[in-house]
Structure 1
Amino acid sequence: MKLKPLLSAKPGFRRAAGFTLIEILLVIVIILLLAGALVVFVLPQQEGAEKNTTRLLLNGVGTALDTYRLNIGHYPSEQEGGLDALLKKPSFENERLGEKWIGPYLKPGTRLDDPWGHKLRYELTDRSGGDEKKGGLPYKLSSIGPDGQPDTDDDIRLMAENDKDSVTGNAGGK
């Protein structure tokens, strides 16, 4: 008994292997729907997570700056390396200050970059002019945010504890 006649209705007829056009189009539609769901639901969550990561980094660096000030007596200046003074001992003009440095104040290997690859911005402010509001921080610590442009709405800044939030910045629905 031959199997070939049993598998086809007509002798000599052979069924073509592969997928029909409808099956292929159906798979493409399903893939497009999944890609659309990814764009709508997952990507905004990723941006929010990056902003939260930046807030945590700014808070950690702010704590390290405060600890540095408690040990040394002042916040790190540009001459001392700025934020790098939190990771490695700077060269102090006064040897006694060098003896007070008990860092690193951040975990070794900590990158002082935001999730978008931009360096954190750190600037000591002049509090002697009276411009700073009472209780404000003597420094500005911020990230330029996802757009990479300074002084825009998406910048994330570390603020004083008595301000509304300790870290500000648009969180995309915080």
Structure 2
Amino acid sequence: RRLRRELALTAAAFAQPVTATTRFRRRRRLLVRSLRERAVWVDAERASLLAGAVSADVRPFGVLVERDVVGVLVSCGPDVPAPGEPWAVDEADPRLWWIGRGDLGAVEGTAPLLVAVGTDREAVVFLDLLTGPRVVAVSGERRGAGSTLQALAAQVDARLPVGAVTVADGVLPRFAGP
């Protein structure tokens, strides 16, 4: 009995790095594919604008885009308004609202400034930089934080008009900022 347990633990220890690498590569492919697809960005922006139109007290700050649905994370007071059809409130978090990608129509308003920050299972996670403070700080392990900051700066630069983004010296390698 003990030998079987030890063999199972040893096999799991050897398999864990392989499964972690496979999971990482699968999520990286999802993120890269989604960053290239214009429809993903458009659907994320539309869902954010539609969620903001539900109530004046609601501010969408995050978006999760899956294959068939889009989830919008909203901030509001203690009384979370219930969105009407075609929205569905998440069972675990009442501040996460889901809508089918087919239910997203044209919407008017100022587009959010979304940046992709990663994945959550099969969803690409976007953060709206315009809903928070004017300065975004990235902290953590030096190498990872630097890469994250560079990725965010590149996304913002690609999405805004030419000359709208100024990157300080030392943020991006081989780029002499002001």
TM-score (norm 2): 0.34
Q: Over alpha carbons, which structure has the higher Rg?
A: 1
Structure with a larger share of its residues in strand? 2
TM-score of the pair, normalised by structure 1 = 0.34
